[in-house]
A and B are shown apart, each in its own frame.
Chain A
Amino acid sequence: MYLGLKEMRHEKLRYTLLSGVLLLIALVVFMLAGLANGLSNGNRQAVDTWQAQTVYLNKNANQTLSASQLKLADKSKLTGNQVAPLATLAGTLRTTSNSKKTTTNALATSRNSFLMPKIVSGHAINGKNQILISAGLKAKGYKIGQKVRLGTTTKTVKIVGTYATNTYMISPTVYTDIATLNRLKGAPITSGKQQTINGFVTKKSQFKTSHHGDLEKISINTFINKLPGYSAEQLTLNTMIYFLFVIALAIIGIFMFVLTLQKQPLFGVLKVQGIGTKHILAALLTQSVAMALIGIVLGLGITVGLAQLMPAGMPFVINWSQYGLYSLALLIAAVLGALLSWRTVANIDPAVAIG
């Protein structure tokens, strides 16, 4: 400890530079993690608020909601107490004058279903052609009582309530009932059990019999992973993060190794004086952990600062437990990096210091 810290104090430039490199790596890790979280959240927030367990889709839909088509009547094939029909429409929300247009994802379910979001202001849907909008849309200027158009039709719907910030596949959500959505879609059947929907979302349910036609049961996690682009996006960002851990390890390892080679004569002198491999290695470990800590703490600070400055449209979510885990991974990389010089330190022959 003593040796390691005193050397850092004396060789400020050298160790500041490496701490700086580690800071940059930590910063990139935290930024990527924040973006991965933000994108993940933007994709799945609506799904997460459902707190559902299983989803039923058409088995030919490749587990993708928008590709699945079922009928309301298919509900009879399922048993369970909270089974909600779900229909979606990726559509533009626009004012009747077309002065404002926003890409949204409209989600429809039955009026009393557990999927319906908790109303923050206004009231729940209690009649035809009513919609609820999420906070993000309210912030854009859409108001309760306003008549708006959704999708490409000229039919108007009325905003009757708002709920908390909510997105699905990066777009803010709009909720309505099944019949209204089918009217907006221009579906041939807009009432009764023969209406088309995309799937059923449930908390606890199962198939009534083994004859369940085209229905396929998938877990909510599978459903999320099958959201278009979701897995690819997460995998890409996470792979980048994992590579950064390896890069951090390599940088610390190489730097410490080169320093060790440079300091071989000094280490020889230390060994002559009875200060052995253990103490020299402890000094290297102290230094790499100290540099990693400096990098991580500053990296976290800058990340939090940057998060405040980011434009609202940038999906960025800080997940502290994940940041804790990644910080730990960077620390472990630093420790492993320092340990790479173990053999070199152990093999330094103290006799070279004499004669």
Chain B
Amino acid sequence: MTKPVLALQHITKQFGHGHTAVKALTDANFEVAPGQFVAIIGPSGSGKSTFLTIAAGLQTPTNGQVLLNGTELATQSEKARLAYRFNEIGFILQSSNLIPFLTVTEQLKLVDKMAKRPFQKDKAKTLLAELALSEVVDAYPNELSGGERQRVAIVRALYNDPSVILADEPTASLDTPRSIDVVERLAKEAHQHQKAIVMVTHDQRLIGNCDVVYRIEDGVMTRQ
């Protein structure tokens, strides 16, 4: 197997102190390599969100290491972690991480503006076509269907060429056929673009397309 892009080693996250302490994650180990589509499945309250926030560098673990391309995240400054999130991680969030006042194309333009580079028109066109969004490039998020919105979020995540894509319940607001469509597309993108994609979900039906499945329950993570 190729070297992992993102690895979490012996991660423990504890909230509070003394006898009110709650362990959200206990000695969790995880890794994902380029081209892999990994699912993390567990009921709500199992520690999935904690896992994601730690993997994204939004929270520091109580113990353990988060390695992105071999660099440890916890030791980085806030600013470096912000840059890391921008450059190396693509996010697909529960409802939608689209900006309500930008059209589909502008969501992508914003990424280029932030990176201080010209708009990559061809890349945008190709990705949007790949996810069947060519017809809605000038639409605002509120004019899109739920499935379209999540597909735009996928395009936006891919567009910046991140090392890892973290998807937090990307199908939460979708019906079953649309959920399956979105997950199939994620799997396809992972394999086609050699991206590491991590999907957190509670929906058992969606893990058929995943290369690796981790199960998480009461803060304990096990590889299936």
Contacts and interface: CB of A to CB of B under 8 A. Distances in A.
Report whether chain A binds chain B: yes
B114 A355 contact: no
A272 B106 contact: no
Given A350-B58, A354-B58, A6 B106 contact: yes
B84 interface: yes
A325 interface: no
B101 A269 contact: no
A353 interface: yes
B91 A279 contact: no
Interface stretch (B49-57, B62-70, B189-197): B49-57
B207 to A, nearest CB: 19
B74 to A, nearest CB: 15
A6 B102 CA distance: 7
Interface stretch (B4-12, B26-34, B92-100, B131-139): B92-100
Contact of A351 (B58, B83, B101): B58
A2 B58 contact: no
A6 B99 CA distance: 10
Contacts of B84: 274
B59 to A, nearest CB: 6
Given A275-B114, A354-B49, A354-B58, A266 B100 contact: yes
B109 interface: yes
Interface size class, chain A:
20 to 34
Nearest to B90: A273
A353 B99 CA distance: 13
B110 A274 contact: no
Contact of A272 (B49, B50, B91, B140): B91
A6 B101 CA distance: 7
Contact of A2 (B93, B113, B140): B113
A355 B168 contact: yes
Nearest to B55: A354
Contacts of A11: 101
Nearest to B52: A354
Given A6-B106, A11-B101, A272-B58, A355 B83 contact: no
9 contacts: A3-B99, A6-B102, A266-B100, A269-B93, A272-B56, A272-B91, A275-B86, A275-B110, A354-B52
Interface of A: 2-3, 6-7, 9-11, 266, 269-276, 279, 349-351, 353-355
Closest 8 pairs (CB-CB, A-B): A274-B86, A355-B49, A10-B101, A274-B85, A351-B58, A7-B101, A276-B82, A2-B113
